Amino acid sequence: MVQLPNESIQKFKELMEEKSGKEVTWEEVAEGGRNLVNLFDVLYKCEMDHRSWDERLKKEPKGFALEGNGRNCAVCGMSTREDTNWYDKWGIKCLTCQRAIDKKLIPGSVARSDKNRYSPYDLEDRFGITKPAQRKWVKEGILKSRIVPNEKGGVHYHLFLIKDNKDFLPPKKLTESQLVAFEKDGKTWHRSEPWYRFVEDPYEHLKGYKIMNYLKFVQQEDTR
Ligand SMILES: [Zn+2]
């Protein structure tokens, strides 16, 4: 565990109190400071790793497998092992998603950013469209999906690219959830609330995107 000098804790304490306008205890500050230092440590190591990988890419432009297990595929999100991951200019992928990129079934750019597509989880989380409903829409041609096939020819993962569903799916920045602060037991907590709680009229907010023709927003009492 990182031990912070008292002087740093004192400075951090003043900063936190100034920002929050509330008094904070020494223990809270010390813990917050340690968390922050640990976070920076992780970020720094990550950055260093990425730099060395990118250096290696100059000699091996097609990419290579990274050492170690437990890395996540940037496309399907699943955990990879040392022998099932691949790193190239688009990022870390599992070999199944990598194969789909090599076969041009999905663009490599989906591994670099998730802004260009909705995942099945996104559609459920942001619009309440369940996975069976998604499958039905795809079948009916309402929604176009890209499939990452598994080795047996089944489905490993579904993606809904915004460019495939132009005029239907809105840019993701319009449907981001937001963190809301609330007080409970004398403490400040945060919870994530869906985008439509922050707009006056969801239909006006996403006007022109056809997905809205298929959705019904129900006013709900806040029971929490
Ligand atoms: Zn994957």
| Ion ligand 1: protein residues whose beta carbon lies under 5 Å | 73, 75-76, 94, 97
- Distance in Å, CA 74 to ligand 1 centroid: 7
- Distance in Å, CA 218 to ligand 1 centroid: 35
Q: What is the pTM of this model?
A: 0.77
pLDDT value at position 6? 87
pLDDT value at position 221? 58
pLDDT value at position 16? 86
pLDDT value at position 8? 86
- Distance in Å, CA 95 to ligand 1 centroid: 7
- Distance in Å, CA 155 to ligand 1 centroid: 12
- Distance in Å, CA 129 to ligand 1 centroid: 22
- Distance in Å, CA 104 to ligand 1 centroid: 14
pLDDT value at position 2? 63
Q: What is the pLDDT of residues 162-210, one digit of tens each?
A: 999 999 999 999 999 999 999 988 888 999 999 999 999 999 999 999 9
Structure tokens at 211: 């997905």
SS (H, E, C) 106-168: CCCHHHHCCCCEECHHHHHHHHCCCHHHHHHHHHCCCCCCEEEECCCCCEEEEEEECCCCCCC
CB 83 within 8 A of CB 65: yes
- Distance in Å, CA 53 to ligand 1 centroid: 19
CB 82 within 8 A of CB 67: yes
* Cα 196 to Cα 205: distance, rounded to the nearest angstrom: 9
- Distance in Å, CA 6 to ligand 1 centroid: 45
pLDDT < 70 regions, the chain: 1-2, 219-224
- Distance in Å, CA 156 to ligand 1 centroid: 8
